[in-house]
Amino acid sequence: MATQERPRHSRKVLARSPEQARTLPSWIYTDSDLLVRERETIFRRNWSFVGHVSDARDGRVATGWIDDCPIRFWREPSGGIAGERIDGTAPSKLRLCVLSGLVFANLDNGADDLESLTPEFGPSLIDFVPRIEELVLCHQIRHEVACNWKVLIENSLECYHCEPCHPGFSDDVDMATYRSESDGVLTMHTGMQRGSDTPFRYWYLWPLTEIDANPGEKPQLSIYTREALGAGRFAMIGHFYRLPGDIPDAQEIAQMESNDTLLEDYAICESVQRGLGSRGYGRGRFIVDRERSHISEHSVHHFQLLVADALDLR
Ligand SMILES: [Fe+2]
């Protein structure tokens, strides 16, 4: 990597106000040693989506992942969901939480409950997709992307790039209605489809989970998790859920495999990663406006504060 500022012990890496802050320095996105710390202090100490309760139906033992750590879970005779780590580490190290049919796991036995961290998350899911607990897995994808895991998350937390980079998405969404709001571990994006009264809503749960839902008579849920493969590479894993019997056809499978918006974001983010690794860039500024409109990057700043807090970089 290029010679860059490495303020590991600074207490002022990131200002609390997005108007005042400079972005995290570029080495945060290129340093292999840092990824080791991120695994321990971020991925293994926070809640990640590992599956749906329906994955454990009919006595099945389901497998999910927190980054590169496999998790098993199953339904107990009492009706509850239980689990342990596959590598044999003491089961007490694994905690599970079910919110609106979605199973989340945390490898830190001392972590706060997910429901207490974000009380609005579960209710907002079932409010938007009332039949969410009935859904079943219909397809999975795995894409490898040549950028740091944080780059694509930051991309998803702002829509400044949407109009120039996502023509299809921008045709579908009324950008004037697009808003994102971050509170603790949860960011929720809301808005309206263009020319209709159909809302959209999607969620980012710190650090690795994104949930995109289409409500309606045939609800669809797209949940994306991540596995870091190196400082400059990660795997994006997509889990797609529908009602039993609503089986996607070949065209719908192809859309899940190569969604235009995802592929457009991969190209942008791989370009951003090349820029982060160049000698010409150290850190930048956030684009924010008072209205916190669709072009405002306040949720990216919130994410970077979570990173800085977890790594004790401030
Ligand atoms: Fe995007």
Number of domains into which the chain is organized: 1
Cα(255) to ligand 1 centroid in Å equals 16
Query: Ligand 1 mean position to 59 CA, how many Å?
Result: 39
The rounded Å distance from CA 63 to ligand 1 centre is: 29
For residue 270, is it within any domain?
yes
What pLDDT does residue 35 have? 97
pLDDT of residue 303: 98
Residue 314 has what pLDDT?
Answer: 62
Token pair 């406006």 is at which residue? 289
Tell me whether residue 53 is in a domain: no
For residue 291, being part of any structural domain is answered with yes
Find the length of the chain. Answer: 314
pLDDT averaged per 10 residues, the chain (length 314): 45 83 95 96 97 96 94 92 74 84 94 96 96 97 98 96 92 92 97 88 97 93 97 98 97 94 97 94 93 94 96 84
| C-alpha of residue 269 to centroid of ligand 1, in Å | 9
- CB of 124 within 8 A of CB of 211? no
> Is 195 among the domain residues?
yes
Please, which residues bridge with residue 289 across strands?
Answer: none
Q: Given this model, what pLDDT does residue 139 score? A: 98
Task: Please name which of 199, 176, 169, 178 lies closest in space to residue 265, comparing C-alpha atoms.
Answer: 169
Q: What is the pLDDT of residue 205?
A: 98
Alpha carbon of 170 to ligand 1 centroid (Å): 10
175 SS3 class: strand
The model carries a pTM of 0.93
Query: Which residues sit with Cβ closer than 5 angstroms to ligand 1, an ion?
Result: 265
pLDDT at residue 90, as a whole number: 55
Provide the 3-class DSSP secondary structure of residue 36. helix
**What's the pLDDT score for residue 8?**
46
**268 CA to centre of ligand 1 in angstroms:** 8
Residue 200 lies in a domain: yes
Query: Which residue range forms the structural domain that includes residue 208?
Result: 26-46+131-310
125 lies in some domain: no
Residue 66 resides in a domain: no
State the CB neighbour count (10 A cutoff) for residue 162: 20
Residue 74, C-beta contacts closer than 8 angstroms, at least 6 positions apart: 56, 59, 60, 61, 62, 81, 82, 83
> What's the CA-to-centroid distance between 75 and ligand 1, angstroms?
37
Instruction: Identify the pLDDT of residue 113.
Output: 96
**How far is the first Cα of the chain from the last one, in angstroms, to the nearest whole number?**
22
pLDDT of residue 3: 43
Residue 45 C-alpha to ligand 1 middle, in angstroms? 27
CA distance 56 to 75: 6
Is residue 106 situated within a structural domain?
Answer: no
Identify the CATH number of the domain in which residue 162 sits.
3.90.380.10
261 CA distance to ligand 1 middle (Å): 6
Distance 290 CA to ligand 1 centre (A): 22
